[in-house]
Structure 1
Amino acid sequence: MWENQALVTLLSDFGDRDVYVGVMKGVIAQINPKLRVVDLTHEIPAQNLAAARFCFMNAYPYFPEGTVHIAVVDPGVGSQRRAIAVEFAGGFLVGPDNGIFSGVLAQTPAIAAVELTNPQYWRTPEPSKTFHGRDIFAPVGAYLASGVSLQELGQAIDTATLTQLSLKLCHSTTTGVAGCIQYIDHFGNLVSNIPGSYVQGKKWCVQAGELIIPGCETYSDVACGEAAALVGSHGWVEIAINSGNAQSQLQINLQDSLEVIHD
């Protein structure tokens, strides 16, 4: 029936204990069983929009052009927040308009966006107030991946009105660059919002509160249990503990400030 067979990705804070993720995949398969679905992660901390933003921002470049990315981290589900689909150079984004796509769109600006107002492409014209992932986002993503145009899904909206997360920006100082922790991964590594390009070719360290942490190339440049600052595979400056958990050991959390100091 469907000629188009784009890839679909899923990201959520649903975890794997409940059936929510499987149900979304079932809805997608009912529309087009030939679609390939990739799970980015379903272990986003509950309702943590900053973590969802970071993970999406660092995942999308590894997928082919035309991929449909569905996100369901949605503390405002059932409220007046918009349900949206966005076209950008890499494909499409489908989910709530709450800022989770703002990292991607800061790197690759939106081409067009719609509010998902056409119930023809929902699972039901009377969606659940608590599970738009099943009733709106999964079916819309499946139809997009199968060749339905963005314009058919709803009313066009100005891309400048898409919600931005309120996050601290990095900025230059007299001694280096100041920023904050934007993400904490499974290992407790503290990922800053300072791009690794700021430290390339320099001798540097990180100051976080009273701590001075040396800039390194790898985790093993310091002894087990010691802190190191380095550029992670994601391209951002991070703080880690060799064979340990930096968040718990250093008591540094999301949005906490730090500064990269270089010669």
Structure 2
Amino acid sequence: MPNVGVHRRLRDVQSPVVAPVITLLTDYGLEDGYVAACHGVILKIVPEARIIDLCHLIPSGDVRRGAAVLAQTLPYLPEGVHIAAVDPGAGGARRAVAVEAGGRILIGPDNGLLSWAIHACGGPSAAHEIVNDEFFLRPTSPTFPGRDVFAPVAAHLSGGRKLAEVGPELPINRLVSLPSPTSLLREGSVEGEVVSVDRYGNTQLSIAEGDLRSLGVRVGDTLDVRLGRRQLAMPFRETYSAVAPGELVAFADSAGLIAIAVNCGDAAQRLGLPPGARVKLAPL
């Protein structure tokens, strides 16, 4: 008779249980206990969860910046449940939603924050409004949905509860979407906008590296950069260090989008380029 206990142990070794992954993106900062509270709520419900802190330094209430960071980072993360809480409408009439997209579940306010990430995952397959307070922390604060709603809902879903249990299904076309950043090729130039500004002051544009290639621009060339009424000649290089400290440079960033930076400086501050500012590039 075979030793069942030995075979069972071998199966356990060969097929380890993979702990569920929950990620967090917020504008909570790191000076207070808000992030730790969210961790604690999750781990009390699913102690084996692996929590990845995607970012907690999104500028306060900057939904657009949060959407960009989430969409550009999510493809590199394991599948799981992803919480995003940049929520200037917390406590108001905006909905809380859970959206399934590309094998992932995204949880957050229905204010457009999730929309670019949902698109990056291939589009939504199901969406539900989060209203079932069986999943919520008690008592529930109207000003801290990240801790009292998003975190426990994410934990319960990671622990095996069904998406449909969180609340009624929503028509996918009723989800709030941010306008997608666009670029426009015309007359030997390409025009786009500043998608986001990172903590170094680098300005990421909606212009893709392929847009410049289609204009015949290659690394080593010089760009004609138009910012409103200003016109600059700017080197197009592979990285910051290709120019001297303090000099402006354009390059293709890690997301494949064109960025404008200052080596050892702050391009957004120097050029006055906030998110949404229009920029036109052309070969010089």
TM-score by length of 1: 0.93
Alignment partner of 2:194 out of 181, 184, 198 = 181
CA RMSD of aligned residues (A): 1.7
Alignment partner of 2:245 out of 209, 217, 224 = 224
Residues 1:248 and 2:269 aligned together: yes
Report which structure shows greater RCO (CA 8 Å, sep ≥6).
Answer: 1
1:55-85 C-alpha deviation (Å, 9 max, x unpaired): 00111001123x1110111100111100000
For 1:211 and 1:250, locate their aligned partners in 2 and report how far apart those are by CA, in whole Å.
11
SS in structure 1 at match of 2:176: coil
Match of 1:24 in 2: 38
- Structure 1 pair 174/106, CA: closer, same or farther in 2 (3 Å)? farther
Residues 1:88 and 2:101 aligned together: yes
Amino acid at match of 1:230: F
Amino acid at match of 1:138: A
Contact kept? 1:54, 1:182, Cα under 8 Å: yes
Match of 1:237 in 2: 258
For 2:210 and 2:106, locate their aligned partners in 1 and report how far apart those are by CA, in whole Å.
28
What 5-or-longer segments of structure 2 have no aligned partner? Answer: 1-16
For 1:52 and 1:211, locate their aligned partners in 2 and report how far apart those are by CA, in whole Å.
30
1:152-180 C-alpha deviation (Å, 9 max, x unpaired): 11110011111112455222222222111
For 2:158 and 2:213, locate their aligned partners in 1 and report how far apart those are by CA, in whole Å.
39
1:229-250 C-alpha deviation (Å, 9 max, x unpaired): 1101122110001121111222
SS in structure 2 at match of 1:217: coil
Alignment partner of 1:48 out of 62, 66, 71 = 62
SS in structure 2 at match of 1:180: strand
For 2:110 and 2:275, locate their aligned partners in 1 and report how far apart those are by CA, in whole Å.
22
Comparing 3-12 with 247-256, greater Cα deviation is found at 3-12
For 2:126 and 2:18, locate their aligned partners in 1 and report how far apart those are by CA, in whole Å.
20
For 1:211 and 1:15, locate their aligned partners in 2 and report how far apart those are by CA, in whole Å.
37
SS in structure 1 at match of 2:249: strand
Q: Aligned residues, how many?
A: 259
Residues 1:7 and 2:21 aligned together: yes
Amino acid at match of 1:208: L
SS in structure 2 at match of 1:136: helix
Match of 1:208 in 2: 227
Rg: which structure is higher?
A: 2
For 1:48 and 1:120, locate their aligned partners in 2 and report how far apart those are by CA, in whole Å.
30
What 5-or-longer segments of structure 1 have no aligned partner? Answer: none
SS in structure 2 at match of 1:71: strand
Residues 1:63 and 2:77 aligned together: yes
SS in structure 2 at match of 1:224: coil
Offset of residue 219 of structure 1: 1.4
Match of 1:162 in 2: 175
